[in-house]
Amino acid sequence: MRLSELIKKYCLNELQDEKTKSWLDQKLHSTKTDQDFFISFALINKKIPRDHVKLSLSQLQTIELKYPEFYIGNWTLDQLCRFSLLMCYPLLSAKSLTKLISVADTQEQISIFKSIPYLENAGHFTHIVVNGIRTNIVDVFDAIALKNSYPAGYFSQDEWNQMILKAVFMERPIYLVKGVDQRKNEKLAHILFDYARERWAASRRVTPELWRMISGYMTEEIFLEMIKKMAEGNAQDQKGMLKLIQESNLDASQKWLNSQSTQIEPISWDQIGSDFWHNNQALQNTSKA
């Protein structure tokens, strides 16, 4: 069964109100014009509850087995219904999608950007997604940058680097960016280290996840500057820098590691990112209390 059929079946099964179920079923099968499509998409806000997805273990396993890139647990029911409309509308084009985004609210934009990777003509919408990362709405940016396979699959190197730099600046959880290690590049490493220098000059911190994108491209110049700053950083900053040094083949970095009197505990980049993110969240919650 195609993903569009699986999602459509799930949406219709979850709707308790028969009138709403009938309305959605009709729209999924009979929408033939952009105007009707736009109206139906907008009506999801009023007709479909924003419930969290509830699936049995066997249902989850069925979807994950057939479509491992698609994790339904990241979606709410209203988002899935919008996704279903997008997949079932036969006349969806870059022009119509651009117009839809221009009038969409935040929740609608999130649904659109999460859906694009799974559309049959996904490659036609790259410029739309690239334009989307310019948003100042954090949740919309996250819908593109985090847990989304589209940027890694379709962005050029410069487009990818622009997204990662913005994610670092916004201190978004880089460990949730798909393809973050596969799309590392030397140009990005230099951009990020220049950014780190600017932050240091202003007595500001940098996310320890920044060093993940420099791994494989560290120079002796970067190493020497980083060592000077390591002593000034907190434990989280030091973990990222130490991880980068451990992965470096530079003679200077290996000599430095061998000179350390204490044992350095192994840690993954994902764990460094997760620890930093959750610590940030806890601090923000404390400040609001």
Render 202-253 in DSSP notation, one character per residue.
TT----TTHHHHHTT---HHHHHHHHHHHTTS-HHHHHHHHHHHHH---HHH
Per-residue confidence (pLDDT) for residue 234, from 0 to 100: 79
Distance (Å, rounded) from C-alpha 10 to C-alpha 76? 12
Cα distance between residue 34 and residue 26, in whole Å: 16
What was the pLDDT predicted at 143? 97
| Residue 182: C-alpha distances to residues 79, 164, 179, 215, 276 (Å) | 29, 13, 5, 12, 22
> Among 4-8, 60-64, 252-256, 266-270, where is mean pLDDT lowest?
60-64
> What's the pLDDT at 66?
87
Question: What pLDDT sits at residue 263?
Answer: 73
Which pLDDT band holds residue 57 (cuts at 50, 70, 90)? Answer: confident
- Average pLDDT score over the chain: 92
Distance CA(53)–CA(173), nearest Å, equals: 23
Give residue-wise pLDDT tens across range 156-186: 999 999 999 999 999 999 999 999 999 999 9
pLDDT of 262 > 80? The answer is: no
Specify whether the CB–CB gap between 113 and 132 falls below 8 A: yes
Stated pTM of the model: 0.93
Question: What CA–CA distance (Å, rounded) separates 37 from 108?
Answer: 13
Q: How many CB atoms neighbour CB 110 within 10 A?
A: 22
Cβ–Cβ < 8 Å for 175, 164? no
The answer to whether the beta carbons of residues 184 and 217 sit under 8 Å apart is yes
Res 141: pLDDT: 98
Q: How many residues are recorded in the chain?
A: 289
109-144 pLDDT, tens digit each:
999 999 999 999 999 999 999 999 999 999 999 999
pLDDT recorded at residue 1 = 76
- Residue 127, number of CB atoms within 10 A of its CB: 12
Chain segment 12-55, per-residue pLDDT in tens: 999 989 999 999 999 999 999 999 999 999 999 999 999 888 87
The alpha carbon of 201 is separated from its chain's Cα centroid by a whole number of angstroms, namely 29
Which pLDDT belongs to residue 287?
63
Query: What is the signed CA dihedral for 209, 211, 217, 219, rounded to 10 degrees?
Result: 170
Tokens of 275: 């620890």
Rg from Cα positions in the chain: 22
Q: Which token pair is 185? A: 């590049």
pLDDT given at position 288: 62
- Residue 229's CB is within 10 A of a number of other CB atoms, namely 17
With both helix axes pointing from N to C terminus, report the angle between 157-169 and 138-145 in degrees, rounded to the nearest 10.
140
pLDDT at 205: 87
The neighbour count for residue 68, using CB atoms within 10 Å, is 8
Is residue 237 predicted with pLDDT exceeding 90?
no
The answer on pLDDT for 289 being more than 70 is: no
- Residue 63 φ then ψ, to 5°: -70, -45
